[in-house]
Chain A
Amino acid sequence: MEIIETYGFIFMVMAIVFGLYMTWGIGANDVANAMGTSVGSGAITVKQAIVIAAIFEFTGAFIAGGNVTQTIRKGIIDPSSITNSPEILVFGMLSALLAAGIWLMIASTKGWPVSTTHTIVGAVIGFAIVGIGPDAVEWGKVMQIAASWVVSPVLGGAIAFMLMMSIRRLILNTENPFQNAKRWGPAYIFLVGFIISLVTLFKGLKHLNIELTVGMSFLSAFVFGLVLAGIGKVLINRVEVDEESDREFHFASVEKVFTPMMIFTACAMAFAHGSNDVANGIAPLAAVVSIVQSGGEVAQESALPIWILVLGGIGIVVGLATMGYRVMKTIGSGITQLTPSRGYCATLAAAATVVLASRTGLPVSTTHIAVGAVIGVGLARGVGAIDLRVIGGIVISWLVTLPAGAALAALFFFTLKGMFS
């Protein structure tokens, strides 16, 4: 307790600095993956992507980032194991943040696979095992999280597959694809609005004190979807047939109809990413803050302060603004095989899956889900060539990132413990 009283302020400052560093890293590197499918298909430029991301990452973090943050902050560690020495949690969370931030930096410069989500989860588990004991970890929750890492890309792929098949049946394989694209386009935009708002608003938002019944949730989602569809219809109706491009590629005009649709999915994806990944930076920060402010009490039911969510959102946007452009350009240039119609399927599928995971409080890797979604489109015979070795790379990244995060966190934990006790 005394340690908290003496050094409380320093811990808070450290937590804020490290937290901001993490969110800055997320904004600089991770967002590019989320926006990659939208930029690569040529529907939006990198500049537009940055603006969209800046607005919607923040919104997603603020509105929907609460559940995942709570999971990382107190869902992984059993609080009863540290009631007597809460400073352990402080040291642990600080080291987790530091470890994740440093690992991100090292891996990025060396070109190793990097997942902010996996790193922070591994780091938290790492210091818990080493600093407290294996019993302190809520292994049930950890198993749930690990399962979601495998299930979420598959789910993303399944949704993308079904979307692709429906577009083919309703638009591409018909007698007049262009007309049908204009007809069904608004319906697909409605889908975007409906799914995202339904998942986000279902039964209300606790940390914003908004309560909604199941019925109201469906209703508001429905209305929101209609509004978006209306806006979309206006944009779509402006699209004209481009006869010259049509001669080279018969579906060129149809793809043009999908271009404004991709704006909506890009926003949805940024929202989803913000909702899931902001937690990686601010959850440990929130843990430290709540302990310091309560003078050493590890309160299980403490709510998430809004200012921390805001801080996380700002960190992401700053990271995006400073380094996001370059990274997005690199990734976007490697994904040009996606036409807008395919990009739409992959992006919406990924966004829906991530937002669902955020709702259920499960931290997932947006990048891996995006990969799953693209493979889903490929399985529907929608992409020229997909290199399946990427899957092997993903599995390796799981095996590398988790231990690395855990080991670094353990290292820093003992360092901090030594410095302050």
Chain B
Amino acid sequence: MSSTNPLANLFGKSPFKGLQVHMRAVLNCVHEIPILFAALEAGDQEKVVAAKDKIFEHESEADQIKNEMRGALPKSLFMPVDRRDLLEILQMQDSIADTAQDIAGMLVERRMEVPDFMQEPMKALVMRCVDACEQSAKIIEELDELLATGFRGREATLVEEMVEALNLVEDDTDELGIALTRLLFEHEDEMKPVSVMMWYQLIEWIGDLADYAEKVGDRLRLLIAR
């Protein structure tokens, strides 16, 4: 009876819950990055590898959630928002976790050590990028309230303001990233050429964390727009 009962089959899995659960796993990845850099600065290789392992674990968790969500969104599902918009948000969120994984992987595989002149600016960049991700996660947590108010009105305005704030944080990370890169190039003759390239890549990846976080906010604007 329950297998064909229309009422029981009427509800699909809420994609909004899914997005929130996924984002929490992604945020767990991101929180390990400053820990990793601190361990690197302290020269504690064990802690570095431990942090990297945690990141890989959370990223794998995020992937699983992502795949489950994709499997639970048939075309016949009627939702208050466009299915494609939701899937894009999911993809952007997942990219944050993937990028964190890339960063951790690189730092461990190549056993890189942060040059002295880059220590402080690097810390600042990492912290600001984590800020961006946290702001993004806060916005995703507002999805429940957006659903309750039909994606309109006060709640929508509130979320728009949060996205504006996120954009400002991302602007900061852009500036910090550019400054750090400039610093890198100023010292490029003192370093091995390959190291310079790898550090350039790493700075880009760290900036990407904030970029993807901003993209999540942007996609959410589409949900609210009418």
Q: Enumerate chain A interface residues (CB-CB to B < 8 A).
A: 29, 33, 36-37, 108, 111-114, 168, 172-175, 249-251, 327, 330-331, 334-339, 341, 367-368, 370-371, 374-375, 378, 380-390, 393-394, 397
A393–B155 Cα gap in the complex (Å)? 36
B2 within 8 A of partner (CB): yes
**A381 touching B154 in the complex, CB below 8 Å, given contacts A334-B11, A367-B6, A367-B7:** no
Contacting A393 at CB < 8 Å: which of B4, B16, B152?
B4
B194 adjacent to chain A (CB < 8 Å): no
Is residue B56 within 8 Å, beta carbon to beta carbon, of the partner chain? no
Once the chains are docked, how many angstroms separate the CA of A368 from the CA of B5? 10
Residue of A112, A334, A338 near B4 (CB, 8 A) is A112
Whole-angstrom CA separation of A341 from B150 in the bound complex:
13
* Contacting pair A386 B78 (CB below 8 A): yes
B8 and A331: CB pair below 8 A?
Answer: yes
14 A–B contact pairs at CB < 8 A?
A: A113-B6, A173-B150, A173-B155, A249-B145, A250-B144, A335-B11, A370-B7, A371-B7, A375-B10, A381-B150, A384-B11, A384-B12, A386-B10, A387-B77
Please give me the 9 A-B residue pairs with the lowest Cβ-Cβ distance, nearest first: A384-B14, A381-B80, A385-B12, A173-B153, A334-B8, A381-B150, A111-B3, A386-B78, A389-B76
Closest to B72 in A: A385
**B15 contacts partner chain A, Cβ-Cβ < 8 Å:** yes
B2's nearest neighbour on chain A, judged by CB, is A330
Report yes or no: B10 in contact with A384, Cβ–Cβ below 8 A.
no
Task: Kindly identify which residue among B1, B5, B10, B16 contacts A387, using a CB–CB cutoff of 8 Å.
Answer: B10
Complex alpha-carbon distance, A355 and B152, angstroms: 33
- CB neighbours of B1 from chain A (8 A): 29, 108, 111, 114, 327, 330
A114 to B8, alpha carbons, bound, how many Å? Answer: 13
Name the one of B3, B15, B76, B155 contacting A384, with C-beta atoms under 8 angstroms. Answer: B15
Query: With contacts A334-B7, A393-B6 known, is A385 near B14, CB below 8 A?
Result: yes
The minimal Cβ–Cβ distance linking B65 to chain A, given in whole angstroms, is: 16
Contacts of B14 in A (CB 8 A): 337, 384-385
Docked pose: A33 CA to B4 CA in angstroms: 12
Distance (Å) between the CB of A128 and the closest chain B CB?
Answer: 28
Report B184 CB to chain A, min CB distance, Å: 43
Contacts of A335 in B (CB 8 A): 7-8, 10-11
* B219 CB to nearest chain A CB (Å): 17
6 A-B pairs besides A384-B11, A384-B147 with CB distance below 8 A are: A172-B153, A173-B149, A380-B150, A385-B12, A387-B74, A387-B77
Q: Is the CB of A251 within 8 A of B145?
A: yes
- The verdict on B79 contacting chain A, using a C-beta distance below 8 Å, is yes
B16 surroundings in chain A (CB, below 8 A) = 384
A111 to B1, CA, bound (A): 4
Q: Give chain B residues whose Cβ lies under 8 Å from the Cβ of A367.
A: 5-7
Assess whether A36 is in contact with B7, with CB atoms less than 8 Å apart: yes
**Roughly how many angstroms separate A24 CA and B151 CA in the complex, as a whole number?**
45
Could you tell me which residues of chain B, from 8 to 22, have a CB within 8 Å of some CB in chain A? 8-17
- Separation of A330 and B7 alpha carbons in the complex (Å): 11
Q: Which residues in window 23-70 of B have CB below 8 A to A?
A: none
B131-153 toward A: CB 8 Å interface, digit per residue (1/0)?
A: 00000000000001101111111
CA distance A386 to B80 in the complex (A): 9
**Nearest chain B CB to A104 CB, angstrom units:** 10
Q: Are B8 and A386 in contact (CB under 8 A)?
A: no
Which residues from chain A contact B2 at a C-beta distance below 8 Å? Answer: 111, 327, 330-331, 334
Pick the contact of B11: A111, A113, A380, A387 (CB < 8 A).
A387
* C-alpha gap A397/B78 in the complex (Å): 21
Q: Given the complex of chains A and B, what is the CA–CA distance between A374 and B14 in angstroms? A: 15
